[in-house]
Copies of this chain bind each other. A is one copy, B any other.
């Protein structure tokens, strides 16, 4: 992630006073598929220079044969020469004093080894000259206010205060949910292969850009997750960031790798990390646009209680299902609201939420409709209005057209979002009329409306919490860090790749002692020093060559002390030696079996982008089928640890199912924080697996631990 960017570094790309188009063919003048045509259509007010040795005169542009002949060092070069010529062209631009270039040409890290080599050359030019590059493999930028775009296909000029940044151009081309939509953003950047200007650079630009109040991202891979999280945490305190993370499946990730030349982070870790840093996640391209539009349109939604007014009883039932799925609530109308509306309805109709407005509206639209909507807006128990209405053909059904009321009433009270859904024969016209003042939105589907309202409510909650705070404070573990470092150095010196007893020692150093244990080395076998341990006991083989001990007979349970223990140790060693010939046996761990509580697991893995990630969830054999895991990037705050526990299903068992005493959740949260510190303190530890951990009312009982070290494969 490039750190040189300043908030205004992208100004040369977004509002250049002069540009050079390099690689424009003669046939592109006047052709619809042409950057030049796009600029003419937008009315770009800057100076256009075309570099082409064979081009004749072009009205409104200066033409020159070569880059050195350019009459001025333009703000921005737009390059679409064939790929082999790109590095030379960039060098020439730098030599002419041009500080920014958009490279449209394809066939770099998105393709083969030759292309990857060319992209490396481009990075070298950036490093050497300080020139900034967007692309290659990009459509470039659009900025409606500056009437500028590098797109060779027309783009719509819109003033919605949404800034878009994407790893693909298709979102910039417009993706119109209903045909009256314009672009859906006021400025956009297609990062392409991102050889220089990165997602973070564009985010910083939008952070400082007053025209942007909502940031919309499409990302297939996030290169430096740690830096991204820091940045996202900061930005989301001021402006909401909505992201569509593409390439979420294994197959999708493979395609991402070939598409952008990057490797996508593991999808679930990335999603957890993005949420942790305050980013709002969209499920698909449509949600990306609808969430952004909603955040740019509406003020805060103070709670999750929704009042429904529907022209159709059947539609209202579907709306309730949608609210429920989105985690919203059906508002309870106040007695005052009911009293205010009662006279509109026949005696036999109950006045309740959802309000079935067919009869009042059929009697007198212009009296009933505004009264109902205003009553919902005025009710303190209603945080947003969901309005279902038929979109009739006009002028035939002008008597039933509520669009003007919805537009004006929503504009009059912007503190309560008015979300609409429509059926019927002119949804397009109905939507256009309602959205004229950008005060209400007609959503294509009820689920869209509900999920967008949930995003508004969630954003308000996020702002109230002070956005996502990074981890800080916590216990002083500097001594633990030193002690663990010494243990790891010893293991490294011995060439050990997997830690068992050393893991127990590191956990002890970090204040997480396992259930009482000792280790019997060869010499002690005849007289095991386990006198201090209380039976029943279990035995576990200690071998650097055996990761899954029970699979090879390396675990024995339920032993007494004394002679039985000595015999058990002999038997265990013999069994393992038989099952894994040649395994180095360092000894046998003897441990108490008193652990009681709910089985959970605590783990850590390192994501190539986001770094150490803590995993918590259902443990034991059910871990495999419950798929009940919460993820967070380390280090964790106590608050984050508590949140990740609460988001698992095993939390219900920990709270005390069937009258059982609840587990000690403070101890559990503390353990998660401490494990996250082990992970943050010791990059040499690649993976941690504590499973099962028994979480009881009396605290945690750690019975097993596996640490894998860097550079060693799993057994």
Contacts and interface: CB of A to CB of B under 8 A. Distances in A.
B447 A318 contact: no
A248 B318 CA distance: 9
A330 B251 contact: yes
A122 to B, nearest CB: 16
A523 interface: no
A58 interface: no
A512 interface: no
A621 B658 contact: yes
Contact of A249 (B313, B321, B650, B659): B321
A107 B358 CA distance: 12
A374 interface: no
Interface of A: 32-33, 106-107, 110-112, 114-115, 153-154, 156, 166-171, 173-179, 218, 220, 244, 246-252, 255-256, 258-259, 283-286, 311-318, 320-325, 330, 346-350, 352, 354, 356, 358-359, 362, 390, 392-393, 396-397, 399-400, 423-428, 444-447, 550-551, 618, 621-622, 624-628, 649-650, 652-653, 657-659
A592 to B, nearest CB: 20
Among A169, A311, A447, A622, the one with the most B-chain Cβ atoms within 10 Å of its Cβ is A622
A550 B220 CA distance: 53
Contacts of A347: 112
Contacts of A628: 625-626
21 contacts: A112-B348, A115-B348, A166-B314, A168-B317, A169-B314, A170-B312, A174-B424, A176-B424, A177-B444, A218-B314, A247-B317, A249-B321, A252-B321, A252-B324, A259-B356, A284-B318, A285-B445, A622-B626, A625-B628, A626-B626, A626-B649
Contacts of A392: 153
Given A32-B397, A252-B320, 7 more contacts: A169-B312, A170-B423, A171-B314, A175-B423, A247-B321, A255-B354, A626-B628
Copies assembled: 2
B399 A350 contact: no
Contacts of A324: 248-252
Contacts of A251: 320, 323-324, 330
Contacts of A653: 621-622, 624-625
A120 to B, nearest CB: 15
A320 B255 contact: yes
Nearest to A349: B111
Contacts of A252: 317-318, 320-321, 324
A106 B396 contact: no
A658 B153 contact: no
Nearest to A313: B259
Contacts of A174: 423-425
A314 B424 contact: no
A358 B259 CA distance: 13
A625 B621 contact: no
Contact of A170 (B314, B393, B400): B314
A356 B105 CA distance: 15
Contacts of A255: 316-317, 320, 354
Contacts of A107: 346, 348-349
Nearest to A316: B255
Contacts of A32: 396-397, 399
A427 B154 contact: no
Contacts of A627: 649
A315 B625 contact: no
A220 B444 contact: no
Contacts of A350: 258
B446 A444 contact: no
B446 A284 contact: yes
A313 B357 CA distance: 47
A154 B318 contact: no
B249 A320 contact: yes
A425 B348 contact: no
Contacts of A156: 425
Contact of A318 (B285, B312, B390, B426): B285
A166 B423 CA distance: 15
